Structure 1
Amino acid sequence: MLKIERVYRHVYPTRKKAQKDIANYIEVFYNRKRIHSGIDYKTPQEVRNEYLNRQLAA
């Protein structure tokens, strides 16, 4: 999905700019907004927040 959603839609002038953009995409969009079927159609950020809240409650 990363290639379809990001890489194939951009032309990067340098490898460094590509790495920076892809890392930003993963951190900002993929991990915070994109839902995943393997974790009950939640975002990784939602799952992490639920885990941290359970740890605080214990």
Structure 2
Amino acid sequence: HCDRGCQYVSEAFHKATEGMIHSYSKKAYPWDNACIESFHALLKREWINRFKIFNYTHAYKLIFEYIETFYNTVRIHSHCGYLSPKEYEEQYLKNLETAVTSLAS
């Protein structure tokens, strides 16, 4: 998903991304991709800017490491009640199990 910048609507971009589905923000509506823009800012500020990236594979590994070992497991999120997504899911499953057990009794 991207904005309507000239680089994304150019013939060269369309040729390079042939076979992919293109997704664009609505014209003059920057809020379309605010969530992912916020995530990209966090990713850069908290992780990527600490490293010198050597190639695509290195970048891929760094991003995977950030998401799987920090963002989803350690970093707290306000929408999860200031728990990490992992802690939130564990709490949710525990509450669900308790509710099911009490219904079965």
Do residues 22 (structure 1) and 60 (structure 2) align?
no
Do residues 10 (structure 1) and 13 (structure 2) align?
no
What TM-score do the two structures reach when normalised by structure 2? 0.50
RCO comparison, higher one (Cα < 8 Å, 6+)? 1
Do residues 51 (structure 1) and 96 (structure 2) align?
no
Structure 2 unmatched ranges of 5 or more: 1-41, 101-105
1:38 to 56, 62, 79: 79
* Matches of 2:97 and 2:65, distance apart in 1: 29
Q: Percent identity?
A: 38
Structure 1 unmatched ranges of 5 or more: none
What TM-score do the two structures reach when normalised by structure 1? 0.84
Q: For the aligned residues, what is the CA RMSD?
A: 1.2
* Matches of 1:53 and 1:5, distance apart in 2: 31
Which of the pair has more CA radius of gyration?
A: 2
**How many matched pairs?**
58
